[in-house]
C-alpha cells in the first residue's frame, strides 16, 4: 500500500496515498464537519461547504473532501478563516432547517447536532433570518417517511439510490431556493417503484428520511 505522511493540527498521520484530507482526518479522530461527503464517491459532490481546512503554503482554505493528502502536507482544521467559512456555511444551512430536535426522528443521531456540538455552534442561526420551507411531507410509503422540510440537500440518498444501487427513484427536483429531493414529477414515493431497500434512510444524516 502506498502511503504518505502529513500533519493535521500538529498530529503526524500516515495514510493511504490518494485519500482525501477529510477521511484521513476522520480516520485519525480529528473532526471536520461534513454533510455531503461519501468516501467511495469518485467525484465528491462538495455541496455543503462545511469541510474547509487550511493547508500551509496555500492562499485560501480548501474543501477537505476534494483535496488529496500529499507527503509533508501541513493541514489546520480550526484557523480563523476556516472557522469563519464553516460557521457561515452552517448558519446558511440552519437558516432553512427547523430546530425541532425533540420532535425529530434523528434526535441524538443527527449530523447537525454533532457539528454544533463539536464546533461550539448554535443550532439556531444568530445572524441570518430563518426562512423555513413549508413543503408537504411524503408519507405514502409503508415503511418510511420523507420530510423535505428537514432535508439539507446533501445528496447522499440520491447518490446511493442512483449511482450505487442503480434504482433511480430519487433525484434533485426544481432549482435554486426551491430545490428539493423527490421522484420524477414529484410523485409520491409509494407510486414510484421504490423497492423498500431503505438505503436512503440509512445514509440520511438528518431526520428527513426516517423509518416509520
Which residues of this chain interact with ligand FES, rule CB under 6 A?
34-37, 46-51, 63, 65
Q: Please say whether the beta carbons of 133 and 161 come within 8 A.
A: no
- What is the H or E stretch that residue 120 is in? none
Query: Could you report how far apart the first and last alpha carbons of the chain are, in Å?
Result: 44
Query: Least CB distance from residue 89 to ligand FES, whole Å?
Result: 8
Residue nearest to ligand FES (CB): 65
Rounded to the nearest whole angstrom, what is the least distance from the CB of residue 104 to ligand FES in the complex? 21
Whose Cβ is closer to ligand FES: residue 18's or residue 184's? 18
Q: How many residues does the chain have?
A: 212
Residue pair 93/112 in contact (Cβ under 8 Å)? The answer is: yes
Give whichever of 39 and 186 is closer to ligand FES, judged by the CB atom. 39
CB of 42 to ligand FES, least distance (A): 15
Which C-beta is closer to ligand FES: that of 19 or that of 34?
34
Nearer to ligand FES among residue 160 and residue 194 (C-beta): 160
d(CA 23, CA 48): 16
Q: Are the C-beta atoms of residues 208 and 148 closer than 8 Å to each other?
A: yes
Compute the chain's Rg from CA coordinates: 18
Q: State the minimum distance, in angstroms, from the CB of residue 101 to ligand FES.
A: 22
Min dist. Cβ of residue 146 to ligand FES (A)? 21
State which residue, 48 or 106, has the beta carbon closest to ligand FES: 48
**Cβ-proximal residues to 189 (8 Å cutoff; 6+ apart), any chain:** 138, 140, 141, 144, 146, 169, 183
Amino acid at each position: 500500500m502506498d502511503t504518505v505522511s502529513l500533519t493535521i493540527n500538529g498530529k503526524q498521520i500516515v495514510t493511504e496515498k490518494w485519500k482525501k484530507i477529510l477521511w484521513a482526518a476522520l480516520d485519525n479522530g480529528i473532526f471536520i464537519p461534513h454533510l455531503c461527503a461519501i468516501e467511495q464517491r469518485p467525484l465528491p459532490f462538495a455541496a455543503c461547504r462545511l469541510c474547509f481546512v487550511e493547508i500551509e503554503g496555500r492562499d485560501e482554505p480548501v474543501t477537505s473532501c476534494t483535496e488529496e493528502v500529499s507527503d509533508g502536507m501541513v493541514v489546520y482544521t480550526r484557523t480563523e478563516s476556516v472557522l469563519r467559512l464553516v460557521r457561515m456555511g452552517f448558519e446558511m444551512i440552519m437558516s432553512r432547517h427547523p430546530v425541532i430536535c425533540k420532535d425529530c426522528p434523528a434526535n441524538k443521531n443527527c449530523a447537525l447536532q454533532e457539528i454544533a456540538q463539536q464546533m461550539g455552534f448554535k443550532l439556531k442561526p444568530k445572524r441570518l433570518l430563518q426562512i423555513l420551507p413549508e413543503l408537504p411531507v411524503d408519507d405514502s410509503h409503508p415503511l418510511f417517511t420523507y420530510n423535505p422540510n428537514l432535508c439539507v440537500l446533501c445528496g447522499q440518498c440520491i447518490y446511493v439510490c442512483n449511482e450505487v444501487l442503480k434504482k433511480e427513484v430519487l433525484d434533485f427536483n426544481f432549482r435554486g431556493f426551491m430545490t428539493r429531493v423527490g421522484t420524477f414529477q414529484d410523485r409520491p414515493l409509494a407510486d414510484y417503484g421504490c423497492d423498500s431497500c431503505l438505503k436512503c434512510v440509512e445514509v440520511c444524516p438528518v431526520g428527513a428520511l426516517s423509518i416509520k
